[in-house]
Amino acid sequence: MPIPTVRLSSGVELPRLAFGTGTALYNSTVTKQVVMALESGFRFVDGAQLYANEESAGDGIESFLKSSGLKRTDLYVLTKVGKAGMLDLQSAVKEEMRKLKVDYLDSYLLHFPPRGKDGLPSNVDAWKELEKIKQAGLAKSIGVSNWLASDIQQLLDAGSSAPDINQIEFHPYCYSHEEYIKLLALQKEHGIVTMTYSSLAPFYKNALPEDGPLNKALTAIAGKNDKRTPANVLLRWALQRSEGIITTTTSKESRAKEYLDQLDTCNDSQLTLTEDELKQIDQAGKEHGAEKFYMAPYLKP
């Protein structure tokens, strides 16, 4: 089944669902998981230097392409450069391509805003190096991750191009945070696509009470329609609120196919959340808030 896509400002089209190789798969061999995801129907692999598993992810990509008969151009490969790579981005991108066994990247992101701290380059200088990588044809699109509106504004003020993507933590607990409100408004204004992570974690992994406001709201909304479950209501919220790309990680084939099936019903009016339902979820997340954000270290400019 064709996966809905989103068009970046660079013209590149990316699937709206990506298989992530971080979180539970961090620093582990992910060959089997990548093959499973691709065989299930995923076509977008999201990696990072920080995850310390790019070589095994590359093995999975290579294995799938050989067994499926598909071409490299049928897949989308994104990776993010971490602290070590930011000191020499030109060398880092070539090393990551070698590990992933690809001759180009569909997207290459700065994993966090360097901000000129701890010997790292400024946001603007790091971005200029990323622009060179795109110009050299090593990456079709470039972007950032965990950046705030103030970080992106530095690029715009310097006359640089806007990022194609900003991958951020995205769920109802952080959606109403003041920095998110500013960030999402800026991204919409400049055509920067939101790519999410941890969108489903609040439901499956949060340590808050099971009868908390968010879970109550998800359960109540799901109960209105026998096609819905609390899990797919949360996925649908993320798709509609982000208007971008959802990243998810699983080792279960059944769960991978469930996510893809949900994406296939994007235009099903019975499953689309109303604005009132979206606001109920927003408010439930705002009422309790989160005990901790993954993005917490970057929420102060």
Which of these, 43, 39, 38, lies nearest to 75 by C-alpha position? 43
Whole-number Å distance between alpha carbons of 167 and 169? 7
Give the active site residues: 51
> What are the residues whose beta carbons fall under 8 Å from the beta carbon of 283, sequence distance 6 or more?
213, 217
Instruction: Give the max Cα distance, the chain.
Output: 55
Whole-number Å distance between alpha carbons of 181 and 139? 29
Whole-number Å distance between alpha carbons of 248 and 83? 24
Report the b/e string of 165-195 with b at 16+ CB within 10 A.
Answer: bbbbbbbbbbbebebbeebbebbeeeebbbb
Q: Are strands 13-15 and 193-197 parallel, antiparallel or unpaired?
A: unpaired
